[in-house]
Structure 1
Amino acid sequence: MSYSDHNGVNVPGIGPQCHGRGIDPSLAFLAHAHGETLEVHYPVDGTPVGTVRTATQADVESAFKLARAAQHEWAQTPIRDRARILVRFAQYVLDNCDELLDSIQLETGKNRLSAFEEVMDVARLAAHTAAVAPSILKTKRAAGAFPILTQVRVERAPKGVVGVIAPWNYPLTLVATDIVPALIAGNAVVMKPDSATPFTALLTRKLLLQAGLPEDLFLVTPGSGRTVGTWIIDRADFIMFTGSTATGRLIAARCGERLIGCSAELGGKNPMIVLADADIERAAAGAVKACFSNTGQLCISIERIYVAQEIADEFTRAFVEKTRALTLGGGLDWNTDVGSLISPEHMARVKAHVDDAVAKGARVLAGGRARPDLGPAFYEPTILSDVPDEADVARAETFGPAVALDTYDHEAEAIAAANDTTYGLNSSVWSRSVAHARAVASRLETGTVAINDGYTAAWGSIAAPMGGWKESGIGRRHGADGILKYTESRTVAAQHLIPIGPFGPLDAEKFAHVMRRGIRVLNALKF
């Protein structure tokens, strides 16, 4: 069992900057922070790539003061002007693609294609949001208490200052995906990036400022979740969080104490069902991408696969062969399929899940090894079979390049197994018949279901809502839901001609008599 290895990083004298490329140190000055120095390391070999200051409590207080002042003026800015800034931002993301790719890779260690998915995603999201938000946010009419006599308008007002707490696994996508709709809705944003990935967030801010965003509308305050994250939660008007379910519970509870809203995308243990009528080669190739893109560090990646018994041998053979053919390594070029995990500590978690499963009877079909020869956080893409239910990898989110493969005799059995989890983020169904796959998809307890795809089709359909059921989150990204959650609704009802109540010749009894008749008519007309 072997993998094709590639490592263009560990060359004496070159280091993570790879022939002169690296993170622009001037980005550090875009952080709204004056605290201790935070050193960011390249996960591939552990070398430093830059330093940035962490925010103090005074920095966070100052950020909210500045953001609130800027937000009042921004809320009065015509939405078409806000949209023009996002259109320019989308273009600048494409124009600065290489710099963004380098920054993402140097902070996360992921392969370049996975980094490019972020650039592609953000460029589309920003332009799409600019196009659709004016219609979504415009004042709309609603049926009044009484036709003609009551005229109702529903307005959308911004929340104020939105606090965003972002993760490390997609440092561009999971920053822009949240701040873009918040900004278009008229809010300001104070954001805490993960301590491993502050520079991509700062580069995002730089591009937004170049696109014309007022400086104090989006402020970045690096630091730990326990300090900076808590300070943000205690000051924001709404919180958007992406991360673990355990942390999500704590954040939701703290938001509840303040009676502010929050939205959270949390963990997942996402299943794939390969139906008996699936295209086996296509399904096997799709499984490789679904399980091992971004080194498996993706909330919506597949961690469980259920294959129909009659095609199991053929699918397993193809899946294992394609997995073993993946190129594992570092570097800022396009020659690797799977990059490093974010840290040695995270690699140890993935290894512990696999080792625990093997100790309890699971078989390794591919991978199953750490690769210290490539770097401190490399782990081979791993396929496990015969995984017992009591193994950690069976139910807990691994968040790495490991998948459990199982078979089933009846579709109902596969659907029940897929739903037998506390999570409900994403799932995948493979079949030559889309109608057949849709019937199965409608029985799955997840916020998104991708047919003949692992996750990209569902995530990339940014006009539709995306989010989790059960313990996988609250609220939605994307679509109208992903914009409206950053607003408060205001109903303005104007009553004309006569009041709703006794008036003139109608005393209370006569008014009640007339109203009973009137309500019967309205109900019959289905108003």
Structure 2
Amino acid sequence: MTTRLHNDSDTTITIKNPADGTIVGTTNYYGAETATQVVERARAKQKEWAATPIKERKKIMLRYHDLVLKHQNELLDIIQDENGKNRRAAFEEVLDNALTARHYAYRAEKLLSPDRAKVALPIATKTQVQHAPVGVVGIIAPWNYPLVLAISDAIPAILAGNTVVLKPDSNTPMTSLRAAELFAEAGLPKDVLTVIPGSGREVGQALVEQVDYLMFTGSSATGAKLAAQAGERLIGFSGELGGKNPLIVTSDVDVDKAVSGVRHACFSNTGQLCISIERMYVHRDVADRFIPAFVRCVEKMKIGAGHDWDIDMGSLISADHADTVAEFVEDAVAKGATVATGGKRLPNIGPNFYAPTVLLNVPEDARLYREEVFGPVVYIEVVDSHEEAIAKANDTEYGLNASIFGKSSTAQEIARHLEAGTVNINEGYSAGWSSIGAPMGGWKRSGVGRRHGDGGLLKYTESRTVAEQRIVPIGGPEGLAPEKWAGLLTAALKYGRDILR
């Protein structure tokens, strides 16, 4: 059963489909008082949950995995209806959620088992590193991926023995609320995961002030503020933040094979993806072939609303965001940029639709040259060398994701020089993101900490070193002169240098 919360704010929020304005549902909108109560209940529950054998936690998580797949179509509908994205982008969320649950369900026991550590006196000293849960984890999730960037982040925290309080974005709370119900059906005890819709000012701040670890996905500006608050409290913080992600098209690229993958890299989820491509550097040797082919490929995209699988791109999240995207493009055009395709709203489809847009000749004083648009807009620059492409790709305050399309040997060499947390070769972002066993996160202002990989679970733990001294004390046996003991240790270090590595 799900937790019933007292609605201290005495308000509800109506969720509307941004693609057509229809009402998706309503939910309570909670305040700081309820958030405090939820954290207190989560804290009271946490020790009991941490004492639950890891094998039992694993069983619950695998049941959740199965329920996600069983209810796939329902989840796809909810994600689309409150977010406006196309169905294939929604499927990426369901797939990721199931994969994350399965990966950490099988990986958690090994990660949480004590590690043997190297010691000064082998045999005489036995040292292990234990991994204890941090306590209550707070997650502040965004609207663009309401299942992945909320529930997929909660999965390793729960398996690590923590309880989780999740604040979803106010535009998209229905997805995480339904996922919490599936967790309850899978056998997750009450108060281990609580979803509490509410404002960032009240619920978000209550979490920052009370939880033991904070996970945030959103803008770099907000992330910096939250990190500072977490730092004041000396609690752990992980944030996946903004990006201005580059894509390099090499001189040896197969143009015909590349264009569709590049298109997906730029316009998946209507460009509302922290790791999607917003700027492209095309080698001059292939520019005359690649750019027209790419523009034609973009112009063939099917834009629309609804649950059909053949729709290539859906709606933006809101009228305000559509205005922001339009302002970025208008600013660039006013300063000299050329619109190769798109550059306009699509009101005939729905209120918040914007055409997939490709810009050329964007001047450096245009806002979108460096600022994150977070919409279906990409600009192309032609470069004379791979070295120039690398320099331009790295000339940013961000470092979240990068992409290279070209021959493997060329792309691998370029990848070594890119300042980004993930680099995808002949893919936009899916290869790196779906590699759940590898860390994913940002350099520079694109974030701190990592999701995925072993660190994606261990970040929700505290390490405890337990060292047991046996046979002989570190200071030497009773009755042996300190100088002689020091000589013995020095000799052991000298002759054991290449043995005890």
The normalised TM-score by structure 2 is: 0.97
Q: Identify the match of residue 452 of structure 2 among 478, 491, 502.
A: 478
Distance in 1 separating the partners of 2:114 and 2:477: 32
Matching of residues 95-106 of structure 1 within 5 Å: 95-106=70-81
CA distance in 2, matches of 1:476, 1:30: 32
In structure 2, distance between residues paired with 1:216 and 1:260: 21
The residue that corresponds to 1:112 in the other structure is 87
Of the candidates 23, 28, 38, which is equivalent to residue 53 of structure 1? 28
Structure-to-structure mapping, 1:188-267, within 5 angstroms: 188-267=163-242
Are 1:34 and 1:53, in contact at CA under 8 Å, matched by a contact in 2? no
53 and 266 in structure 1: CA distance in 2 versus 1, 3 angstrom threshold: same
Distance in 1, Cα, partners of 2:428 & 2:454: 24
Contact 1:32 1:221 survives alignment (8 Å): no
1:212 shift after superposition: 0.7
Structure 1 residue 215: Cα displacement: 1.4
Q: CA RMSD in A?
A: 1.5
CA contact (8 A) 1:263 1:475 kept: yes
Query: Contact 2:108–2:159 (CA<8 Å) still a contact in 1?
Result: yes
Q: Which residue of 1 aligns with 2:61?
A: 86
Q: Percent identity?
A: 51
Hey, what's the Cα distance between the residues in 2 that align with 1:467 and 1:219? 25
Q: 2:330, 2:5 → 1: CA distance?
A: 41
Deviation of the 1:136 alpha carbon: 1.6
1:488 is aligned to: 462
Opposite residue 325 of structure 2, the aligned amino acid is V
* Residue identity matched to 2:465: T
SS of residue in 1 equivalent to 2:304: strand
| Deviation of the 1:117 alpha carbon | 1.0
The alignment status of 1:521 with 2:476, answered yes or no, reads no
Kindly indicate whether the alpha-carbon contact (under 8 Å) linking 1:33 and 1:221 is maintained by their aligned counterparts in 2: no
Distance 1:209 1:491 in 2: 35
Letter of the 1:319 counterpart = F
Task: Indicate the residue corresponding to 1:452 in structure 2.
Answer: 426
Question: What are the ranges of 5 or more consecutive residues in structure 2 without an aligned counterpart?
Answer: none
CA deviation profile, 1:23-54 (whole Å, cap 9, x unmatched): xxx99x86674422112111012232222112
- 1:140 and 2:115 are equivalent in the alignment: yes
CA contact (8 A) 1:32 1:220 kept: no
Once residues 477 and 353 of structure 2 are traced to their aligned partners in structure 1, the CA distance between those partners, rounded to angstroms, is 79
2:334 to 338, 341, 359: 359
Number of equivalenced pairs? 500
Instruction: Kindly indicate whether the alpha-carbon contact (under 8 Å) linking 1:164 and 1:192 is maintained by their aligned counterparts in 2.
Output: yes
1:443 equivalent to 2:406? Answer: no
Task: Tell whether the 8 Å contact from 1:30 to 1:202 is kept in structure 2 after alignment.
Answer: no
Structure 2 CA distance, aligned partners of 1:200 and 1:32?
A: 21
Residue 415 of structure 1: aligned partner: 390
Matching residue within 338, 346, 359 for 2:321: 346
Find the aligned partners of 1:244 and 1:226 in 2 and give their Cα distance. Answer: 16
Counterpart for residue 51 of structure 2: 76
SS in 1 for 2:497: helix
More moved, 401-410 vs 493-502: 493-502
- Which range moves more in the overlay, 342-351 or 516-525? 516-525
Q: What is the alpha-carbon distance in structure 2 between the residues aligned to residue 58 and residue 359 of structure 1?
A: 48
- Which residue of the partner structure matches residue 9 of structure 1? none
Is 1:322 equivalent to 2:305 in the alignment?
no
The one of 271, 275, 283 equivalent to 2:250 is 275
TM-score (norm 1): 0.92
CA contact (8 A) 1:38 1:52 kept: yes
2:136 is matched with 161
CA contact (8 A) 2:318 2:352 kept: yes
Aligned residue type for 2:494: R
- Inter-partner Cα distance in structure 1 for 2:386 and 2:346: 38
Match of 2:154 among 168, 172, 179: 179
Mean Cα displacement is larger for which, 308-317 or 325-334?
A: 325-334
Q: Displacement of 1:421 after TM fit?
A: 0.4
Residue 32 to residue 485, structure 1, CA distance change in 2 (3 Å): farther
- What CA deviation, in whole Å up to 9, does each residue of 1:182-217 have, x standing for no partner? 001000000100000111010110011101100110
Distance (whole Å) between structure 2 residues aligned to residue 274 and residue 250 of structure 1: 36
Q: Report deviation, 1:505.
A: 1.7
- Secondary structure of the residue aligned to 2:441 is coil
Q: 1:204 to 1:32 in 2, by over 3 A?
A: farther
